[in-house]
Chain A
């Protein structure tokens, strides 16, 4: 390999490592360091404080509910977008990405307008847990849809026809043939949706009301505790959230690994 090519490779690797270290690794390291600054037992006390536990439970619970809803509704939506034909389908497909494009604070504001005190349809769920779920449904909507669509597109229609010719009814075809093949797609979408839901802040700030023990999620907990100067408390919960994020990334990697086992065997 000529010298110039070797230099280029070294440079690109160096740049990548430097950029990532500076932007991602250092801040995260500072966070982890700060959370254990007063020792592990102090970290434990802070993290198991009732308010912190309540916030984390709420975040995880809401995220789980939303992930579950997405698994079903997202798959149905992906199915309709891939298998069905109707006028305006292209438009519908484009709209799916709206939560990726729209600022979350705007999403929260509009949900408040729609489901809050001055709701035009008379639904007022502001400052309730239902509102949290509604807001999270908005921001997580694209995830499962977008991970399932490509997998559905790849399915050979002939395997389903084969199943039918062997006597399988439509539900059976879905259960035995389609579902096992789209499951990895569904699972990685669910994992991404879960992670996003746990960490969401912008869409929740206005509509959840941030009532401790009632509607305060972990991200809002961290936020308010920074503002009030309780850096230790904020850092402790933040580290737990960081751990959840890593766990999700691991899970997605695991799903990918399992998904390809039939090919590697």
Chain B
């Protein structure tokens, strides 16, 4: 009896908060017809924006994956003072506003920042250019692989690795043949989460990029830009593509979760 009340509450809540908005993307994108949608999606600046998003993602994800695995190994398998601080720093991007991240980079690489002048002198542009956007995205998507791998490593324990050592395997061989295979699903799941975060990043990149059309716009920045220029179908069009990518990510997450939990 009250089971139905609970079920109704939960499902109603999800419907109103999640599904109603999502369905709007699909509906509104086709407001002016599929032809218009195609035209706005093939606008050179939009295409460029998607390219920028994909490029940043392609750089940030492998780097954070590498970091995530190595960091997890260091935290779980080594006892070092400051492990708690490392843990907190890794978790920080989850609790910190992306705008604050953007501002920090702005201050670090700006004209009056610590590194700004050096890069200026050497003619390397960080702010309002790709490098700062990449760093910002790396910052905000940093935790995911590490956070997925740490509990898995803890649960597995290091017995298998010890066995490998007694059989003569050096650290690299042990890592490659024993450790890595045992954490692969956690890594993959973490990669999916990291990718989703990179694709969806807005706040930090908005601050450091200067959103220069055709140059330093990501897909998410372009959505805002389109909206503010009253190009609603364009905004919805890009959103539609991003939403479709998100659903793909969701599917990947759902399929991988049980494997990851094992």
Contacts and interface: CB of A to CB of B under 8 A. Distances in A.
**Physical contact A–B (CB less than 8 Å):** yes
Interface of A: 2, 4-5, 7-9, 12-13, 15-17, 19-20, 23-28, 30-31, 33-34, 73, 76-77, 79-81, 84, 86, 90, 92-107, 109-111, 113-114, 120, 134, 137-138, 141, 170, 192, 195-196, 198-202, 205-206, 218-220, 222-223, 226, 231, 234-235, 238, 241-242, 245-246, 248-249, 253
Given A12-B70, A23-B135, A109-B239, A84 B94 contact: no
Contact of A195 (B95, B106, B110): B95
B96 A242 contact: yes
Interface string B65-95: 0010011011001101000001011111111
Contact of A16 (B67, B172, B199): B67
Nearest to B239: A106
Contacts of B37: none
A199 B94 CA distance: 10
Interface stretch (B11-19, B41-49, B117-125, B180-188): B11-19
Given A100-B193, A195-B94, A242-B96, A201 B250 contact: no
A95 B18 contact: yes
B105 to A, nearest CB: 5
Rank and list the top 6 A-B pairs by shortest CB-CB distance, nearest first: A199-B97, A103-B200, A27-B104, A201-B203, A202-B202, A8-B171
B103 interface: yes
A120 B13 CA distance: 19
B239 A141 contact: no
A92 B45 CA distance: 37
A103 B114 CA distance: 32
A138 B24 CA distance: 14
B32 to A, nearest CB: 14
A94 B254 contact: yes
12 contacts: A4-B172, A9-B77, A12-B78, A16-B74, A27-B104, A28-B92, A30-B107, A199-B98, A199-B100, A219-B97, A226-B207, A241-B96
Contacts of A170: 2
B247 interface: yes
A79 B91 CA distance: 27
Contact of B92 (A81, A200, A238, A245): A245
A94 to B, nearest CB: 4
A220 to B, nearest CB: 8
Contact of A248 (B18, B95, B201): B95
A76 B9 CA distance: 8
Given A27-B139, A102-B22, A245-B97, A73 B203 contact: no
A26 B203 contact: no
Interface of B: 2-3, 6-7, 9-11, 13-14, 17-22, 24-25, 28, 67, 70-71, 73-74, 77-78, 80, 86, 88-108, 110, 113-114, 135, 138-139, 142, 170-172, 175, 193, 196, 199-203, 206-207, 219-220, 223-224, 227, 235-236, 239, 242-243, 246-247, 249-251, 253-254
B99 to A, nearest CB: 5
A231 to B, nearest CB: 7
A24 B22 contact: no
Contacts of A234: 103
Nearest to A88: B11
Given A103-B242, A109-B227, A235 B103 contact: yes
Contacts of A9: 74, 77-78
Contacts of A86: 7
A2 B172 CA distance: 13
Contacts of B78: 9, 12-13
